[in-house]
Amino acid sequence: MYTYNDFDDAFVRERVAQFRAQVDRRIDGSLTEDEFKPLRLMNGLYLQLHAYMLRVAIPYGTLNSAQMRQLAMIADKWDKGYGHFTTRQNIQFNWPKLADVPDMLDALADVGMHAIQTSGNTIRNVTADHFAGAAADEIEDPRPVAELIRQWSTDHPEFQFLPRKFKIAVTGSPNDRAVTRAHDIGLRMVRNDAGAPGFEVLVGGGLGRTPMIAEVINGFLPRADLLPYLEAIVSVYNLLGRRDNKYKARIKITVSETGIDEFRAHVDDIFQHLRGEFTGLDQQMLAEIEQSFAAPTFRKAAVDKYDNARAEGPAFRSWSDTNLALHRAPDYAIVTVSLKAHGATPGDATSDQMRVLADLAERFGHDELRISHEQNVILPHVHKSDLPEVYATLRDHGLATANIGLISDIIACPGMDYCALATARSIPIAQEIATRFDELKLEHDIGALKIKISGCINACGHHHVGHIGILGLDRAGVENYQVTLGGDGTETAQIGERAGPGFPADEIVPAIERLILAYLGLRQHPDETFLETYRRLGLAPFKAALYPEKEAAHAA
Amino acid sequence: MSRRPFTPKVVTANALLEGDAVWLTEDDRWTRDMREAELITDEAVADDRLLFAIAQPDVVVGAYLVDAESGDQGPGPSHFREAFRTRGPSNYAHGKQVGE
Ligand code: SF4
């Protein structure tokens, strides 16, 4: 994977030293909070309900074992022994003390990590397919391009004060696991008719208050044109984007108010001019970056240990059915480690679990780990013969829950348990749904289902693109949960439809249960997923299940 | 013209160093226990106390006035968000609920 060169290292160290001085000046009173706030946000430090929170970027979700161990060390030394992995492939520490943060940042720099541009109106951490470099369906590993974008956007002088934050996602697969259509810019690798690799460029997607699915601004952008084209898009946005109204400042509003055709024309103008200014240095850089992402040498060995373990152990079989994905090397598998044990906080890992994952990556996984936007951890390259041992180790540490892609594999943002912007809690709802369906023993029967929960309209929990989305609101001083149905974050992206009035906290889980039981009765066969059934039948039968008393009133 | 009656309030903020919730007491201290807070029933006093709080940027961050109710043991929260601030998160025994 990419390791910092001297320039990267010096840059990050200098930023830590600057921030250390700023923290000192804040503590001795020479900086006011108004002066300090933008500085701490630039370094990923937020103030939440109960404490500060440090958000650390995990570029394109890739970590090695040394980095994972360092995160565990930081969690133990300066936090409460755990970390929270987020939908943007970041990790958040929920309990740092202000005076300790510079030391935490230095410890991160020791392993080539930082918290820069995890906040503010800048280009944020670039996210990527969490199966990048491993997936069988991939055209190319998208991470070299993601790294190129990271280098281009980090501290880019023109783009430190954009109208609003800016998020880019990249995927190298036709199956979109990176939610590219819900990003300010989404990049999907494609090949043109001649077989040359390039990108389909999507622009103006986003969730939040005004959810929108991105539109195609360019159906085929040659690979070499990527940076000048991105720079053209961000420049047009920087000029046209609204700064008068925070709620209208994201590029999705700019694109929809300008119209995609006119927006594209502006971009093309600037692009023609910029293309000449990029003299190929970016392509040289890309070629160098690509070398550090060279695929590991995959081992050839018998896989009968795996076949035997499957034949003999139902628990192992169930786990391997659910948590493994197809690897591009035939004897390998991609392992998704669930951070969603029934009743646990989605996305949380203890420092012990982090160390176990680091050890497994080192022993069995070519030293690679990934964090998914679905808040799980991935061992991207495991030889099938090692899977029984990997499974046994995971099981000993509460990491072998066989639920990937199922009803208890819920995305939940921190909500009002931590987040200062929240209007209601998300975590307890996720915990209750997972626990309830575990009791019912229906999870595997229900099959593929994505529930996503946000604790406010900002939609960090991606509720709009959940097959079932839940949005926590404050209705007259009481927590209230609104349900959306039929959302989809993949290549067939769609914004979910609001089902009707919200439910109080003690009624939301029974409502979800009614909804699921209705689906089980409505599906044509066990392989018809919730989303397929919803697309076939529409909202009405599901609405009837959610609001039975209304139905009864109609019938009366 | 009658004005809306003033609902009782407390001054609250986050501590600068730890970041946790604190409340202003009658004797000008910052307490971690909301029940020790000063319950303010007069609007002019409330404004005055808030200014006093804002003038301490080296001790607290983001001071604000918020509705509170009087209880047997002192002021208590009237909104769930403020109730969470007196306890800590609901997913772990962390924060004020375990005396941290
Ligand atoms: S969706 Fe709202 S509550 Fe949840 S993390 Fe984002 S801002 Fe906070």
CATH superfamily of A142-292: Sulfite Reductase Hemoprotein, domain 1 (3.30.413.10)
> Do the chains contact at B16 and A26, CB–CB below 8 Å?
yes
Q: Which two tokens stand for residue B38?
A: 């000063």
Paired strand residues for A368 = A64
A505 lies within 8 A of chain B by CB: no
From residue A187, alpha-carbon distances to A15, A172, A219, A445 in Å are 30, 8, 10, 35
Instruction: State the Cα–Cα distance between residues A166 and A188, nearest whole angstrom.
Output: 17
- Domains of chain A, residue spans: 6-109, 142-292, 304-396, 411-555
Which CATH code, of 3.30.465.10, 3.30.1180.20, 3.90.480.20, 3.30.70.20, is assigned to A304-396?
Answer: 3.90.480.20
Statement: residue A556 has pLDDT above 70: no
Q: Enumerate residues 41 to 70 of chain B having a beta carbon within 8 A of any beta carbon in chain A.
A: 57-58, 61-62
CATH topology match: A142-292 vs A411-555: yes
Mean pLDDT, chain A, as a whole number? 94
The chain B residue lying nearest A479, using CA atoms, is B80
| pLDDT, position A154 | 83
Statement: residue B87 has pLDDT above 90: yes
> Of A439, A535, A523, nearest to A488 (Cα)?
A535
> Of B10, B5, B76, B13, nearest to B40 (Cα)?
B10
The type of residue at A382 is V
> Do the chains contact at A427 and B94, CB–CB below 8 Å?
no
- Which contiguous run of DSSP H or E holds residue A453? strand A451-454
- Which contiguous run of DSSP H or E holds residue A498? strand A497-498
Statement: residue A553 has pLDDT above 70: no
- Which contiguous run of DSSP H or E holds residue A47? strand A45-47
For A131-175, what is each residue's pLDDT tens digit? 999 999 999 999 999 999 988 888 788 888 898 999 999 999 999
Statement: residue B3 has pLDDT above 70: no
Percentage of chain A modeled with pLDDT above 70:
99
For A199-228, what is each residue's pLDDT tens digit? 999 999 999 999 999 999 999 999 999 999
* pLDDT category of residue A3 using cuts at 50, 70 and 90: confident
Fold designation for A6-109: Sulfite Reductase Hemoprotein; domain 2 (3.90.480)
For A362-407, what is each residue's pLDDT tens digit? 999 999 999 999 999 999 999 999 999 999 999 999 999 999 999 9
For A413-445, what is each residue's pLDDT tens digit? 999 999 999 999 999 999 999 999 999 999 999
Percentage of chain A modeled with pLDDT above 90:
87
For A439-457, what is each residue's pLDDT tens digit? 999 999 999 999 999 999 9
> Do the chains contact at B90 and A427, CB–CB below 8 Å?
yes
> Of A55, A85, A11, A41, nearest to A373 (Cα)?
A85
Choose among A29, A47, A94: nearest Cβ to B14. Answer: A47
| pLDDT, position A552 | 65
Choose among B20, B91, B95: nearest Cβ to A431. Answer: B91
Q: Which two tokens stand for residue A555?
A: 């019938």
* pLDDT category of residue A6 using cuts at 50, 70 and 90: confident
From residue B7, alpha-carbon distances to A306, B4, B31, B43, B85 in Å are 67, 9, 22, 9, 20
Q: Distance, CA A413 to ligand 1 centroid (Å)?
A: 6
| pLDDT, position A409 | 98
Residue closest via CA to ligand 1's atom 6 equals A460
| pLDDT, position A376 | 98
Is the CB of A486 within 6 Å of ligand 1?
Answer: no
B2 lies within 8 A of chain A by CB: no
For B38-80, what is each residue's pLDDT tens digit? 999 999 999 999 999 999 999 999 999 999 999 999 999 999 9
For A44-77, what is each residue's pLDDT tens digit? 999 999 999 999 999 899 999 999 999 999 999 9
Q: Enumerate residues 450 to 479 of chain A having a beta carbon within 8 A of any beta carbon in chain B.
A: 474, 477-479
Residue A335 or A153, more confident? A335
From residue A409, alpha-carbon distances to A179, A227, A238, A344, A444 in Å are 17, 36, 38, 11, 12
Q: Which two tokens stand for residue A213?
A: 């699915």
Is the CB of A419 within 6 Å of ligand 1?
Answer: yes
For A513-537, what is each residue's pLDDT tens digit? 999 999 999 999 999 999 999 999 9
DSSP three-state, residue A64: strand
10 Å CB burial of residue A546 (0-12, 13-18, 19+) is buried
What is the value of pTM for the model shown? Answer: 0.95
Q: Would you give the DSSP letter of residue A481?
A: E
State the residue for tokens 């160093």: B17
Q: Given ligand 1 and candidates A84, A426, A460, which is best to mutate, with the most ligand atoms within 8 Å of its CB?
A: A460
Q: What totals of helices (H) and strands (E) does chain A contain, helices first? A: 19, 21
ipTM of predicted assembly, 2 dp = 0.95
Ligand 1 atom nearest to A472, measured from its CA? 3
Q: Enumerate residues 96 to 115 of chain A having a beta carbon within 8 A of any beta carbon in chain B.
A: 97-99
DSSP three-state, residue A322: helix
DSSP three-state, residue A355: helix
* pLDDT category of residue B88 using cuts at 50, 70 and 90: very high
Number of other residues whose CB lies within 10 A of the CB of residue A77: 13
Q: Which two tokens stand for residue A336?
A: 């998704």
The chain A residue lying nearest B79, using CA atoms, is A477
Instruction: State the Cα–Cα distance between residues A311 and A331, nearest whole angstrom.
Output: 17
A26 lies within 8 A of chain B by CB: yes
Statement: residue A356 has pLDDT above 80: yes
Torsion sign, CA atoms A143, A146, A152, A156: negative
B20 lies within 8 A of chain A by CB: yes
Q: Please tell us whether the domain made up of A411-555 is placed in CATH 3.30.413.10.
A: yes
